[in-house]
Amino acid sequence: MTDRVEAVVIGGGFGGLLTGARLREAGVQQIRMIDEGGDFGGTWYWNRYPGIHCDIESTVYLPLLEEVGYVPQWRYAPGEEIRQHAIAIARKFDLYSDTMFHTRVTGLTWDEENAEWRVTTDRGDHFRSRYVVISSGTLTQPKLPGIPGIEDYRGHTFHTSRWDYGYTGGDQTGGLEKLAGRKVAVVGTGATGVQVIPHLARDAEHLYVFQRTPSSVDVRDNRPIDPRWAASLQPGWQRERMENFLTIVTGGHADVDMIDDRWTSTAKLQRQMLTGSVDTNICAEDLDEMADFRKMDEIRERIDAVVQDRAVAEILKPWYRYMCKRPTFSDFYLETFNRPAVTLVDTADHGGITRMTASSVVVGEQEYEVDCVIFATGFEVGISGVLSGTLPVAGRGGMPLLGHWRNGPRTLHGFYSHGFPNLFHLGSLQNAAAVNFVHVLQEQATHIGALVGEAENRGARWIEPTAEAEEDWAATIFRTAPKNFAFQSECTPGYYNGEGNPRPVNFMYGPGPVAFHELLRTWRADGHMDEVLR
């Protein structure tokens, strides 16, 4: 393509879709959505493993339900329902017309004279756009473990985010009939492993589960959404539920807990992860430790109640504090270990799998011959393609964005930087994060849509914060970002605590997402757009 569009949105996950929708509402005509996948959905495009579900309640996780006119069928939606909803949003807001799928943006260069971005891709495109929005995701790059000998293994392998149904048979609901007669290894017992393992156990001749750190596995209690309840919903219902959920899980007060699940009931314990400790008051800390201990004991007791083999039950018990690792939920996972054809292999004493040979996985001196190894080993945690260096951006005067950010990101509200007009970032960068990240993305998309809409109304040439505004926001982030890492540093390694090296979260607005969203609304209402529109 060598044409010119009004807006480019990089990333077709919910962040990109929400921005596309808001830009469409703001009157932008030519919106070019670009994604490396072959369709919309982002993480739900790539992750299609058997058992995939979202463990945030679907009524608050799936965005724009009222706009699209849909009420989810399940309290915790299966992946395919979520992916179809992403497609429905794209259709509703006519976001397919200019798409570029299977395409990676390789460079963005600001053209001062024409006040537009020059965009290049890995397929030789070279086109222009007035606005660019980057929403390239945070957990996108599949991570394989550095097990010695992993390259010598001659059996079949794949990562859960690239499921090989040609090898296993079946689909996302299970029925992996081609695994009959095959010995299968699965590495990893995080949120993905917990969902996939019951299906593998049902269909493989034998399943070896290689565990390094046990997950905390709480009750799931999934159920269909009552159509009578769905029919009773009044306009505005989704916003109300989303706000209610966000308020409660970030430690705020709400008179009613509308979602009332395992996320909302453990809100206080989640707060300690974000802030390091809830309070400097010793008594309050003690109370939190007791609540934490009780919660984790409840999770350990459930294992004793379900798993018949005492030794296996002990291996499955998480010993660390709640939220040290991402909590998981399942009503099938623990039962799996009562099956005779399932072996739980504890690798903790060896720091993980020792090595792999041409035909086996080895832990200590014990070899396990398997036909297939499935890696449920998670993702590299990045902020966006920009910070990882894979998407070079040159702003005014050819200034590289990473050069401008050499001492850390510099933005106003996490969205845009001085010297990089009409370029916006979505994600957790100098703003706020939450367990329901789609809610955060929705507020971000709304803000960008409002800025672009106003710029178009006024005929502004560009949207760009001043250097002073950027400095002020950096100072606000520095002042308010959580600085107490007592909680995280005691945690077992994982991506929540930088694999055991908790770093200052200088990307986070300390007061949290509810306050951040209010700050954005007030900023817009108080006429501050004047300061960024030229």
> Which residues contact ligand NAP by CB under 6 A?
53-56, 139, 145, 147, 187-193, 210, 212-213, 326, 347, 352-353, 376-379, 494-495
Q: Which is nearer to ligand NAP, 55 or 470 (CB)?
A: 55
CB of 144 to ligand NAP, least distance (A): 8
Place of tokens 């009409």: 422
Q: Which is nearer to ligand NAP, 326 or 528 (CB)?
A: 326
353 residue type, one letter: I
Q: How far apart are CA 217 and CA 304, in angstroms?
A: 12
420 token code pair: 């990089």
CA distances from 39 to 87, 96, 130 (A): 8, 9, 24
241 touches 436 (CB < 8 A)? no
35 token code pair: 């994604």
Q: Which is nearer to ligand NAP, 145 or 175 (CB)?
A: 145
137 token code pair: 């995701």
CA distances from 319 to 216, 330, 492 (A): 9, 18, 9
Q: Which is nearer to ligand NAP, 18 or 529 (CB)?
A: 18
CB of 61 to ligand NAP, least distance (A): 8
Q: How far apart are CA 116 and CA 461, in angstroms?
A: 9
Q: Which residues contact 121 (CB under 8 A, 6 or more apart)?
A: 34, 100, 103, 104, 105, 106
Q: How far apart are CA 445 and CA 17, in angstroms?
A: 9
88 touches 44 (CB < 8 A)? no
Q: How far apart are CA 519 and CA 534, in angstroms?
A: 22
Bridge partners for 184 per DSSP: 207, 372
CB of 210 to ligand NAP, least distance (A): 6
Q: Which is nearer to ligand NAP, 34 or 433 (CB)?
A: 433
CB of 506 to ligand NAP, least distance (A): 21
181 touches 318 (CB < 8 A)? no
CB of 53 to ligand NAP, least distance (A): 6
237 token code pair: 């219902």
Q: Which is nearer to ligand NAP, 70 or 320 (CB)?
A: 320
Q: Which is nearer to ligand NAP, 164 or 518 (CB)?
A: 164
CB of 119 to ligand NAP, least distance (A): 30
CB of 326 to ligand NAP, least distance (A): 4
470 token code pair: 């950027």
Q: Which is nearer to ligand NAP, 347 or 359 (CB)?
A: 347
CB of 365 to ligand NAP, least distance (A): 17
CA distances from 91 to 85, 110, 434 (A): 10, 31, 28
CB of 490 to ligand NAP, least distance (A): 16
Instruction: Pick the closest to residue 223 from 76, 71, 72 (CA basis).
Output: 76
Q: Which is nearer to ligand NAP, 95 or 353 (CB)?
A: 353
Q: How far apart are CA 354 and CA 148, in angstroms?
A: 7
141 touches 379 (CB < 8 A)? yes
**How many Cβ atoms from other residues are within 10 Å of residue 268's Cβ?**
17
CB of 309 to ligand NAP, least distance (A): 21
Place of tokens 């293994």: 153
CB of 345 to ligand NAP, least distance (A): 10
3-state secondary structure of 247: helix
Q: Which is nearer to ligand NAP, 188 or 512 (CB)?
A: 188
Q: Which is nearer to ligand NAP, 193 or 427 (CB)?
A: 193
